[in-house]
Structure 1
Amino acid sequence: MSEYILEMKNISKEFTGVKALTDVSFKVEKGEIHCLIGENGAGKSTLMKVLSGVYPHGTYIGDIVFEGGVQQFGRISDSVKAGIAIIYQELALFPDLTVYENIYAGNEVKRGGVIDWNQTIVQAKQMLEKVGLDVNPEVLIKDLGVGKQQLVEIAKALSKNVKLLILDEPTAALNENDSENLLELLRELKKQGITCIMISHKLKEVISIADRATVIRDGRTICTLDGSKGEITENSIIKNMVGREIDDIYPKRPNKKFGDKILELNNWSAYDAQLGRHVVKNVDFHVKQGEIVGIAGLMGSGRTELALSIFGNPKSYKLQGDLFVDGMPAKFHHTSDAIKAGIAYVTEDRKGDGLFLAQDIKSNVVAANLKGISKNGVINDNEEVKIANEYKTSMHVKAPSVEQIVGKLSGGNQQKVSIGKWLFVGPKLLILDEPTRGIDVGAKFEIYTIMNQLISEGMSIIMISSELGEVLGMSDRVYVMAEGAMKGELPIEEATQENIMQLATQ
């Protein structure tokens, strides 16, 4: 019989009348990598917060059995003392402190009641070696990239003699190389006897690394899949996550009809004075009415910079070239000018730039078009609620009401609110920058369906995406950027992952 380091038995958790978890049970074997998967809002993070003491004993029903004993964690420090560490998607590091200060924050190395900084640095170096991070422990956290910061978080957990390491979407903000390095580290930690639970939406990662995977749907345990038996496949994961087969994750659009050019750029360039270089170089580009145009490219290729230069130039680039809207020359001095011209931009960073996380759904939905619910400068509260409810319904936002704080929504539902906010301004061209980053396959399907609906109603869409499958599955034409320049334009019939990557690496 396998030895279980963790058993969560019949866990139920309720928030103000809403059941987040209902009789959830799952077991984790000692020394395995166990993936926890499910759609946004399925209850994965809530379950881990129960385990880690964020939601203390007494606020939930059920038992946590860790290393054979029933635990009653009253606070996070209790779970840490037991050997459980959790690393969230939003890293909990102090940017203005050094690496070694972060690793031992709250767990200081002391001698005679006084912090021994020399020994702290020595031990920090040892922890960094364990995670394969070759940096000076005296460097500031803010001077490290996200991938290296993630490794510092893991080193911090290891410094506390962690037995069970929980990672919540650890690769969501990482590029492919950093993601693969992190997964390789988890495999190495497994060899050292450390058990890992990883929450991830990236099915390829789950398939490549999971010994077993537990699926949660609507706050309930659906099944546990065993990798050694070949049960962890993309089809089986999707079927259990969403409760149905998704034969084609990219819904088809019949009867495609394209009209005249909505937007056109000729010899368009953007110079960033802070960087001292061009971020967009001599781009020729156009979008037709009723068309989804994909823009592919590697990180740093200039895709977002191109979008920002079109959308009223909020970064104050020095612009050159010609911009046409509906065939007429246009110049946008502010984002409000772009909005008036019928252009909207859904940012790739919904938490940082796209939403007011501390405010409710209704406040976010109307934020970009307050005039639409105001008269003589006074907001009509009833109209605000009405509009917000209309978008909550049409965008399939899962929330008790439009009074729900946006920061408490799942990633997929936050993205739907972000899109709804810009739809309320009534655009004819919607720019979607990484529209499905960090959301699960079920929420992706819903957003793709919404995109198709918008196109059927006459809108046009520019979609920037790092997922080549998404670009190929949703676009009518594909542009490829590299180093700020447009390297090629491909009709979707000729576009493949291979020729896109060939252009992107020129």
Structure 2
Amino acid sequence: MSDYILKLQGIKKSFPGVLALDGVDFDLCSGEVHALVGENGAGKSTLVKVITGVHQPDAGEIQFQGQSVKFVNPLMAQQHGIAAIYQEPTVFPDLSIAENIFMGHHTLQSLTRRIDWRQIYKEAGNLLRSLGVSLDPHTRVRGLSVAKQQMVEIAKALSVKARVLIMDEPTSALTMREVEDLFSIVRRLRDTGTAIIFISHRLEDTFQLADRVTVLRDGHYIGTRDVSQVTPDEVIQMMVGRTVDKMFPKEEVQQGEVILRVDGLSKERSFYDVSFELHRGEILGLAGLVGAGRTEVACAIFGVEPPDRGNIWLDGHQVHIHGPDEALELGIAYLPEDRQLYGLVLPMDITQNVTLPILSQFARLGWIDQAAEWRTAQEFAERLDVRAAGLWQKVSQLSGGNQQKVVLAKWLATRPPHSDS
């Protein structure tokens, strides 16, 4: 492939105390799906924000269709035909599908300069049909599934004639059938010449969909490979710097005593008759499709939404958990699926987030012992290798992976003997 529509060379981007990108190269061809992979904190999100004009690089060059460009804001990137679709759809839930598709670039009547609603709904319908999607453009977005909201966002990208489409973790909340439908649309876009950057933690998605894959590690460019010429194990080795057998060595695990037993747990319209046992030193997976009730079961155990029926036994004793405060007292912690909405206070710094559940431990006559608070935050930030400019840095400025580490550090700081994650 040599028909590059987008090319980045030597991109560097730093934030206070953190070098997020260090000389990264990346290129994208028309009519290809190029996967961008790496561990949490590798620099994927920062690179996407550079491409979309959210961040400006400290060094390096961006070329679009062979011309050097500087995207000083997202609007400029959009005007060049670059659009992004994120893990969580960015839609206006109480507006119609058509209004969302043409938000910011409505069709106007030639004489009155008023919005031509008839034309907008007609064009929205045409865009949806071109994607093979059966949706009424008059429908409010609020009632749509995540998968269908993503289709609306793809249609919006096509409405501005996007030539580069960035898809950031688009399959994380989809069922297998919805993933297949999405991939079918992505292939159709690729075949019509759209260039697609595909970001996913699921390597099976990469190998099923992408033509090429670029690997980042700790802000460095590791390499680009044709998907047909590389194996998943080789990509993993590029991502982490070691072989799979060294990452996940076979270990003999001694199963401890039962510490948590759930018996017949039920919650109306959420889950029914859930029973399992968790042993000390065991990692127990709770699997199921989106909407199967996994999150609701965890919330019930943590007391966020207590169950209607069933029993919970902890260390052989039956317990009744009516709220998260009682769960914490019993030594149960909960890591939510949406860390930004439920797990963190984004405007606060790392120290404040880590110590928030145990703030009373640092209270002295109405004052906070900030030195003791800082030492506790430092202990757990170091244990989990939280990469930041300092403990004073706001968690909103951290990468997704480091934000997740802060959530985990917050609960570990409570020193729970039992953790529900």
Change beyond 3 A, Cα 1:282–1:316: closer
User: Is it true that 1:359 corresponds to 2:348 in the alignment?
Assistant: yes
Q: 5 Å matches for 1:198-213?
A: 198-213=198-213
Map Cα deviations across residues 22-79 of structure 1 (whole Å, 9 max, x no partner).
22222222211111112222222222222222224xx532221111211122222222
Alignment check: 8 A CA contact 1:20 1:219 kept: yes
Alignment match, 1:155: 155
Cα distance in 2 between the residues matched to 1:84 and 1:429: 46
Cα distance in 1 between the residues matched to 2:64 and 2:103: 25
Map Cα deviations across residues 2-36 of structure 1 (whole Å, 9 max, x no partner).
22111112222222353222222222222111111
Cα distance in 2 between the residues matched to 1:265 and 1:83: 52
Alignment match, 2:305: 315
Deviates more, 1:292-301 or 1:79-88: 292-301
The alpha-carbon deviation at position 136 of structure 1 amounts to 1.1
Map Cα deviations across residues 157-215 of structure 1 (whole Å, 9 max, x no partner).
00011111111222222222222221221111011111111122211111111111111
The amino acid that maps onto 2:352 is S
Cα distance in 1 between the residues matched to 2:317 and 2:214: 55
Alignment match, 2:38: 38
Alignment match, 2:104: 106
Alignment match, 1:231: 229
Q: 5 Å matches for 1:481-500?
A: none
Alignment match, 1:483: none
Deviates more, 1:13-22 or 1:392-401: 13-22
Q: 5 Å matches for 1:95-494?
A: 95-112=93-110, 113-227=113-227, 230-247=228-245, 249-254=247-252, 256-259=254-257, 261-266=258-263, 268-272=264-268, 277=269, 279-312=270-303, 314-318=304-308, 320-432=309-421
Map Cα deviations across residues 390-431 of structure 1 (whole Å, 9 max, x no partner).
110111212221222222222222222212211122212111
Alignment match, 1:494: none
Alignment check: 8 A CA contact 1:270 1:309 kept: no
Change beyond 3 A, Cα 1:430–1:253: farther
**What secondary structure sits across from 1:366 in the alignment?**
helix
Q: 5 Å matches for 1:7-18?
A: 7-18=7-18
Cα distance in 2 between the residues matched to 1:15 and 1:347: 27
Q: How many residues align?
A: 419
State the percentage of identical aligned residues: 42
TM-score by length of 2: 0.93
Cα distance in 2 between the residues matched to 1:232 and 1:299: 31
The amino acid that maps onto 1:287 is L
Alignment match, 1:85: 83
Change beyond 3 A, Cα 1:43–1:392: same
**What secondary structure sits across from 2:286 in the alignment?**
strand
The alpha-carbon deviation at position 224 of structure 1 amounts to 0.9
Change beyond 3 A, Cα 1:142–1:255: closer
Change beyond 3 A, Cα 1:64–1:343: same
Cα distance in 1 between the residues matched to 2:129 and 2:173: 23
Cα distance in 2 between the residues matched to 1:248 and 1:129: 48
Structure 1 runs (4+) deviating above 6 angstroms are none
The amino acid that maps onto 1:84 is I
Change beyond 3 A, Cα 1:255–1:22: closer
Cα distance in 2 between the residues matched to 1:414 and 1:252: 29
**What secondary structure sits across from 1:427 in the alignment?**
coil
Structure (1 or 2) with the greater strand fraction: 1
Cα distance in 1 between the residues matched to 2:232 and 2:117: 48
The alpha-carbon deviation at position 373 of structure 1 amounts to 2.4
Change beyond 3 A, Cα 1:347–1:207: same
**What secondary structure sits across from 1:115 in the alignment?**
coil
**What secondary structure sits across from 2:410 in the alignment?**
helix
Gaps of 5+ in 2: none
The alpha-carbon deviation at position 377 of structure 1 amounts to 4.6
Cα distance in 2 between the residues matched to 1:12 and 1:43: 10
Change beyond 3 A, Cα 1:21–1:336: same
